[in-house]
Amino acid sequence: MISKAVKLQETSSFIREWLKSPLVTASVVPSSRRLARKMVRGLHAGMGQVIELGPGTGVFTRELLAIGIPESALVLIELNGRFAADLKQKYPAATVVNGAAEAMSHLQLKRAGAVVSGLPFLSMKDRQIDAILEAAFQVLEQDGVFVQFTYGHRCPVRREILERHRLFSSRDSFVLNNFPPASVYHLKRKP
Ligand SMILES: C[S@@+](CC[C@H](N)C(=O)[O-])C[C@H]1O[C@@H](n2cnc3c(N)ncnc32)[C@H](O)[C@@H]1O
């Protein structure tokens, strides 16, 4: 449980960054705790490393820690310098990278059990999404999962892109209690 003061501070920081860069921040306020819980559903400490893309103020990060993922097993990749600096301070044992998720393949990361993404896929170009999925599935274990949320009505990764990467998607949940309401998708390798 976070205090009202922390929540207020995170929300105002989010609004400030959204005003500076609306397409990259892609939401006026951080995701709700309800959505965060759905994003981490099914993940567990035995999965090894977990990579989070676009953590923002760390709503999903907090929930990953709450389900027992050790802080030292977290890799947080955030483009916004202000958010990344705050995350470094809050989670000193995690690996925090201030950079673009598309460049993840240059990081030489260890194998991961899951990638949790808060990235704004709906405002990204196909080639960006391609690069992100390519890099993510290079580090993901064979049965690893890429968790993605969207405010849209269907999977935010087009069918052709899924096919190209030999992936399938399934909608895991719908969260009404979020602004705006959101769906959570799981992307996995085809068997
Ligand atoms: C919709 S916000 C989600 C933030 C947080 N996960 C949440 O749900 O409250 C999108 C986040 O992705 C970050 N972001 C956008 N493009 C990115 C990229 N190419 N690489 C890494 N982070 C990116 C933004 O700075 C922002 O923090």
Q: What confidence tier does 7 reach under pLDDT thresholds 50, 70, 90?
A: confident
Percent of the chain predicted with pLDDT > 90: 85
Query: 87 CA distance to ligand 1 centroid (A)?
Result: 13
Query: Does the pLDDT value for residue 1 go beyond 90?
Result: no
**What's 35's domain CATH number?**
3.40.50.150
Query: Does the pLDDT value for residue 71 go beyond 80?
Result: yes
Domain residues for the domain of 109 are: 31-189
Q: Is residue 184 part of a domain?
A: yes
Q: Is residue 180 part of a domain?
A: yes
Q: Is residue 91 part of a domain?
A: yes
76-96 exposure pattern, b = at least 16 Cβ within 10 A, e = fewer: bbbbbeebbebbbebbeebbb
Q: Are strands 74-78 and 95-98 parallel, antiparallel or unpaired?
A: parallel
Query: 3 CA distance to ligand 1 centroid (A)?
Result: 23
Structure tokens at 3: 């205090």
Question: 155, 127 in Cβ contact below 8 A?
Answer: no
User: In Å, how far are 3, 34, 155, 175 from 132, measured between CA atoms?
Assistant: 34, 26, 16, 25
Q: Is residue 4 part of a domain?
A: no
Q: Is residue 25 part of a domain?
A: no
Question: 43, 113 in Cβ contact below 8 A?
Answer: yes
Query: Does the pLDDT value for residue 124 go beyond 90?
Result: yes
Residue 41: φ, ψ to 5°: -60, 130
Confidence at residue 3, expressed as pLDDT on a 0 to 100 scale:
86
Confidence at residue 27, expressed as pLDDT on a 0 to 100 scale:
85
Cβ(77) to ligand 1 under 6 A?
yes
Q: Is residue 76 part of a domain?
A: yes
The residue-averaged pLDDT of 23-40 equals: 93
Of all protein residues, the one whose alpha carbon is nearest to atom 4 of ligand 1 is 56
Q: Total structural domains in the chain?
A: 1
- In the chain, the N- to C-terminal Cα span, in Å, equals 39
Cβ(101) to ligand 1 under 6 A?
yes
Cβ(54) to ligand 1 under 6 A?
yes
Cβ(118) to ligand 1 under 6 A?
yes
Rounded Cα gap, residues 15 and 181, in angstroms: 18
Percent of the chain predicted with pLDDT > 70: 99
Question: 53, 118 in Cβ contact below 8 A?
Answer: yes
Q: What confidence tier does 4 reach under pLDDT thresholds 50, 70, 90?
A: confident
Cβ(78) to ligand 1 under 6 A?
yes
Q: Is residue 88 part of a domain?
A: yes
Q: Is residue 51 part of a domain?
A: yes
Confidence at residue 120, expressed as pLDDT on a 0 to 100 scale:
97
